[in-house]
Chains A and B, each alone.
Chain A
Amino acid sequence: MTEIAIKGLAKSYGDTAILENVNAHLADHEFCVVLGPSGAGKTTLLRILLSQEAATRGEVLIDGVPIDPEPQPDRGVVFQRYSVFPHKSVLANVMLGPQLRAAPLLGRLFGARRRAIRERAEALLQEVGLGEHLAKFPAQLSGGMQQRLAIAQALIMEPKVLLLDEPFGALDQSTKKAMHRLILDLWRKNRMTIVMVTHDIGEAFTLATRILMVDKARRDPHAPTAYGSTITEDIRLDPDKKPALHVVDESADESHTMTAIFARYRADAGDCVVDEHPNFQAAG
């Protein structure tokens, strides 16, 4: 059971109010997507949940207990960038967390205990589709692969809460779709709570059991920094009533390839397309 309570949260930098009066209660195993315009304070909210940043007022409780003031393994994170360690191989990135926990001085295990962690890491990497890339460095991976690595690295710690800040923001639509299925799959299997920031509204409705919109409720035209953002929308969605995304169906892959998505947009565009190169048609 993991219940998160956000109570009367406020954050300001000097005189600039960023967040004010943010209240939310996230039930166990929630997939909460935080939406909002750029600069609204979504990342700030996530940083507070992570304890990377301290709230000016209010508190965050997990199962009734205030969160630790420092980042801890109970809350895993995937940032948009710089989430994985560039100097470690794919496998070493995932094996790092458990080894740090088990060996305070060396941060490194040997023998049977190392093998056990290695097997767990390999299984997890297999699950996120990186089973063939264990020895590579992050610089040798594509953006989507790096994010999958970051997710595996966070999941091996079995966090209660997984925090994601625009994790798929830099990915193309077809890769994004594949990542959506992966994250839903992992969310269901690991039964953790996910809080994910995005500004992709479609993504929010695809994934969420809960959508929070962070935006300014009040504005003072003479003092634009006087009021911060708060939660302006708060809706709950039933995942079982969202048929298309719920089923992890390998055969459905076809409809999510770049070509397939392009074809749908191409059809929608209709008369806007005034010319089409015949050579490619013939080849297809």
Chain B
Amino acid sequence: MKRAINLVPARPPAILLAVLPFALILIVYAIGSDIRLGANPNDKLMPSFSTIGEAVGRLAFEENRRTGEYVFWTDTAISLQRIVVGLAISTALCILIGIPVGFLPVLRALFGPFLAAFSLIPPLAVLPILFIVFGLGETSKIVLIVFGVAPFLTRDVALAVAAIPREQIVKAQTLGASTWQMMVHVVFPQILPRLFDSLRLSLGATWLFLIASEAIASEGGLGYRIFLVRRYLSMDVILPYVAWITLLAFLMDYALTLASRGAARWYHLGRAQ
């Protein structure tokens, strides 16, 4: 009998194995829903797949009578825009702050402890402040995302910069590099793959902050819709929205993986997927 760690599945069974848990959940849900609906046809907690399908069809493919919009797609567009803008600003900040702070001893001494303290402020606790300062519009939602993930990303970038072997930096100096040139030609490209990984890891937090702010004050968005229909116990809307958010997050994660492979090919050479 082989040790468990040495039992490696071949390719086709591996795919099958990956699909198995998903299929299992769907089957368990279908059975549970059937049982509950059998006992009470008006049960709202576990709607059947056809009811969910109808709800999705209504939201995604029929114009809303009042606004003339396709609610599902408008929600998606609004939320994605907030996420993309929030993450883009966070990424820009973590590069512009994280690299100099991680690389220059003076800035590290000046901002290191401050950054550490700052990143410990619970973002949701300052959400009221953001609403007061930036109003209830788009700005406060994007600021919350930035507030939530930028400090983490910045610290991570600073740590990655500090972890670059000293030899690389000394070598660059013997090639005549200035501090600026080292940041551009040695430090930035070397932390890039790590930055993509931290972005992937912060996707969960990003969605959390988005949905929290949308739930509290918003006129649209995926999180807004979920919390709106909660009042009517509309599980037939909430469940597909949750699945859709999960799928979007998964696709973003995958897109970041692809981007990392494209932007830092050297890093992924011969590395296991």
Mark interface residues in A152-168 (1 if CB within 8 Å of B CB, else 0): 01100101000000000
Task: Check A87 against B267 for contact (C-beta < 8 Å).
Answer: yes
Interface centre among A72, A96, A153 (most CB of B within 10 A): A96
Task: Check A107 against B185 for contact (C-beta < 8 Å).
Answer: yes
Supposing A71-B174, A85-B168 touch, asked if A100 and B181 sit within 8 A by C-beta, the answer is yes
Supposing A81-B167, A82-B165, A83-B167 touch, asked if A100 and B266 sit within 8 A by C-beta, the answer is no
Task: Check A157 against B176 for contact (C-beta < 8 Å).
Answer: yes
Q: Whole-angstrom distance between the alpha carbons of A157 and B171 in the complex?
A: 12
Distance from A100 Cβ to chain B, minimum over Cβ atoms (Å)? 5
Of all chain B residues, the one with the shortest Cβ separation from A73 is: B176
B270 in contact (CB, < 8 A): yes
Q: Which of A52, A84, A85, A107 contacts B184 (CB 8 A)?
A: A107
Chain B residues within 8 Å of A88, by CB: 189, 266
Chain B residues within 8 Å of A76, by CB: 174
A232 in contact (CB, < 8 A): no
Supposing A104-B178, A137-B266 touch, asked if A83 and B173 sit within 8 A by C-beta, the answer is no
Interface residues of A in 51-84 (CB under 8 A from B): 52, 70-73, 75-77, 79, 81-84
Task: Check A52 against B170 for contact (C-beta < 8 Å).
Answer: yes
Interface centre among A70, A82, A105 (most CB of B within 10 A): A82
Mark interface residues in A77-118 (1 if CB within 8 Å of B CB, else 0): 101011111111000000011001100110100000000000
Of all chain B residues, the one with the shortest Cβ separation from A86 is: B266
Task: Check B174 against A72 for contact (C-beta < 8 Å).
Answer: yes
Chain A residues within 8 Å of B173, by CB: 70-72
Q: Which of A77, A81, A97, A139 contacts B269 (CB 8 A)?
A: A139
Task: Check A77 against B177 for contact (C-beta < 8 Å).
Answer: no
A255 in contact (CB, < 8 A): no
Task: Check A100 against B177 for contact (C-beta < 8 Å).
Answer: yes
Chain A residues within 8 Å of B175, by CB: 73, 96-97, 100-101, 153, 157
Distance from A229 Cβ to chain B, minimum over Cβ atoms (Å)? 22
Interface residues contributed by chain B, number (CB under 8 Å): 27
Q: Is the interface of B mostly helix, strand, loop or mixed?
A: helix
Chain B residues within 8 Å of A137, by CB: 265-266, 269
B186 in contact (CB, < 8 A): yes
Task: Check B170 against A71 for contact (C-beta < 8 Å).
Answer: yes
Task: Check A139 against B167 for contact (C-beta < 8 Å).
Answer: no
Chain A residues within 8 Å of B186, by CB: 85
Chain B residues within 8 Å of A75, by CB: 174
Interface residues of B in 230-268 (CB under 8 A from A): 264-267
Chain B residues within 8 Å of A73, by CB: 174-176
Of all chain B residues, the one with the shortest Cβ separation from A154 is: B174
Distance from B184 Cβ to chain A, minimum over Cβ atoms (Å)? 6
Distance from B63 Cβ to chain A, minimum over Cβ atoms (Å)? 51
Q: Whole-angstrom distance between the alpha carbons of A159 and B176 in the complex?
A: 11
Supposing A82-B167, A86-B190, A100-B181 touch, asked if A50 and B269 sit within 8 A by C-beta, the answer is no
User: Which chain A residues have a beta carbon within 8 Å of chain B's beta carbons?
Assistant: 50, 52, 70-73, 75-77, 79, 81-88, 96-97, 100-101, 104-105, 107, 137-140, 153-154, 157, 159
Question: Can you name 13 extra interface pairs (CB under 8 A) apart from A72-B174, A101-B175?
Answer: A50-B170, A72-B176, A77-B174, A86-B190, A86-B266, A86-B267, A87-B267, A88-B189, A100-B177, A107-B185, A139-B269, A140-B269, A157-B176
Pick 24 A–B contacts, CB within 8 A, sort by A.
A50-B170, A71-B174, A73-B174, A73-B176, A76-B174, A77-B170, A86-B190, A86-B267, A87-B189, A87-B192, A87-B267, A96-B185, A97-B176, A100-B172, A101-B175, A101-B176, A105-B180, A107-B177, A107-B184, A107-B185, A140-B269, A140-B270, A153-B171, A159-B174
